[in-house]
Every structure is written in C-alpha cells, then in structure tokens.
Amino acid sequence: MSTQTSRPRVWVSRPLFDDILDRLREYFDIEVEERDRDWTREQMAQKLRDKAGAILGVADPVDAGVIAQTPLLRAIANRGVGYNNLDIAALKKAGIVATNTPGVLDETTADFAWALMLATARRVTEAERFLRAGQWQGMSFHILLGGDVYGKTLGIFGMGRIGQAIARRAAGFRMPVIYHNRSRLDVATEVDCKAEYVGREELLARADFLVLALPMTAQTRHAIGAAELASMKRDAYLINIARGGVVDDAALIAALKEKRIAGAGLDVFEREPIVPADMLALDNVVLTPHIGSASLATRRAMASLAVDNLIAALGCGPNAGRPPNII
C-alpha cells in the first residue's frame, strides 16, 4: 500500500500564459485566477492562508498583517520589477523569500518612455481625438502645433537599468542627457550613456523632457510636487513611467491647467486604476494604463522569470534553493 504525499500549493493572483504555468504544475498544485482584479489585504490573507508560494502582481499587497495569517507561506514571486506592494522587512522577519523580475523589461519600458515623449510633445493622442471627432477640415498651417524632441535636453530622474536604457536612445535624437540619482554612476556607465550627473535642482531647471524612472519608496513619494514643477521650464514636459506616487497628482493637474509646464505623459497614477476626472479633462497630457512593459515577448519573459524564481525559492528545479532574483 502506497501513500501519496501532498504537493505544496501555489496561488497565481492574476492570469498568466498557460504554457508557462505548466512548468509550475510539474511541482505544485496551483490555483490560478481567471481575471485581473484588485485584492484587499483581507482577501490576500484568505487566498494565501494554505499556500506555500504565490506569484503576485505589483499591486497585490502583502504586509505584516497578511503575513501573520499565512503560516505555510515560504515564497513570493512578484511579477514585475517594483515591489512597493510588499513589506520586505516583515517578509524577511518571517523567513519568506521574495523575488522580482528585473532586467527582462528594461528595453521595452525604455521604448515606451520614448513613445510617451514623442506622443506628448507632438500632441499625437490629442490629434487623433481631433480627427476621429470629425473636426479636421483640411490642412492648416497652425493646426496642433507641438514641441520638438530632437536636440532638446533629456533629464532622467532615476538612473537604474531602465533610466540607462532611456539615455542610450537619446543619441539618435542628438539630445544631451543629464541625470540625477541617489548615487552617481561610475565613469564607464556615464560614458556609455553619454550622460552628465547633476544635482536635483539643476535637473529640474535644465531638462526639456524630465523622465521619471525611480523606484517608489517612502523617500521618493511625491518627489515631484508643486515646488518641483514650479522649478521646471514652462515649455518642459514631464514623463512618468515609474510609479504613480512619485508624482503629486493634484499638483501636476494644477500645473497643467495653468500651463506652468507644456505637458505630461503618464503611464502610472497615484490611485490606479482611478485617474482623477480633472486630469482626464486636460488636453495637454497623454494618459496610458500602466503598459510600459506591455509587449508580448516582454510579458512572457516576466512571467517565465517569476515562475523560475518561485520554483527555485520553494526548493525545486535545477536552481533549487537559489532563486535568481531575491529582493
């Protein structure tokens, strides 16, 4: 008579690619959500109570209160680079491994930052709305005049992997690059990116395009507020592909309404998926629904890396006990 050993249970909080999830099924019993949704902390605790591991989206909250109700939990694989949804200190204290998916989305997200820069300066989404509404009556010399990108100064706030990928693309537009970071890059990286390190105040004052690529932390919350927006040029553009809380939405709305900056391109918002009605009413802002890494190849790579991380963190597979991306 044989006894069957129960396998660890794993929760996948949002839909993923079935062929990639099949790799999890080799080792675990998995529960996969069939649709995207936002989870409260109470719901997270309920879902994780009998699970050894989970693959989570970057908006799925895990804090000390959730952890206290999940005695079997051993590992979390965040499906994304950011992890401000996780209380890392509480996870470490509980002995729970946390991982993320850096590297695989850098180039795609950098591409999207440039898409937002071009769309914002050249009023692309505004122009499409104008055309679709039947307002275009023929060629006009003064129609929808925008700003140039070529030759302008690109400022990057947050010069990690994504910031560096954005900087390297600037050469094709003959744009001087300045940046500010918590710590200055080494000389070889600055040369590779053709980027000049400057102080925060100089960055704000000189940039024609200010791209935010910094992580969301307690220290970076509202890093761009009323005072910072007032320090920018009146013909400058703000581009945010980082996290919504890095910008004070109310202050940005006021600055855009009063034309204190020329425009903004935003892929992230403070209270996602809620976008303030006052922001939706503005013409001088391009708005996208957090799709910076949303190419098929990149999202598959992110899912695959999250699966690799979780399998290893739970002691299975060729990298058992050695997940490649521990936070």
Catalytic residue numbers read 243, 272, 290
For position 22, what pLDDT does the model report?
Answer: 97
For position 2, what pLDDT does the model report?
Answer: 39
For position 3, what pLDDT does the model report?
Answer: 41
For position 232, what pLDDT does the model report?
Answer: 98
Domains and CATH numbers, the chain: 9-104+296-313 (3.40.50.720), 106-287 (3.40.50.720)
For position 1, what pLDDT does the model report?
Answer: 37
For position 151, what pLDDT does the model report?
Answer: 98
For position 4, what pLDDT does the model report?
Answer: 46
For position 139, what pLDDT does the model report?
Answer: 87
For position 5, what pLDDT does the model report?
Answer: 57
Q: Which two tokens stand for residue 249?
A: 């939405």
Whole-prediction pTM: 0.92
Residues of the chain short of pLDDT 70, as ranges, are 1-5
Buried/exposed 99-114: b ≥16 CB within 10 Å, e otherwise: bbbbebbbbbbbbbbb
Distance between first and last Cα of the chain: 44
For position 244, what pLDDT does the model report?
Answer: 93
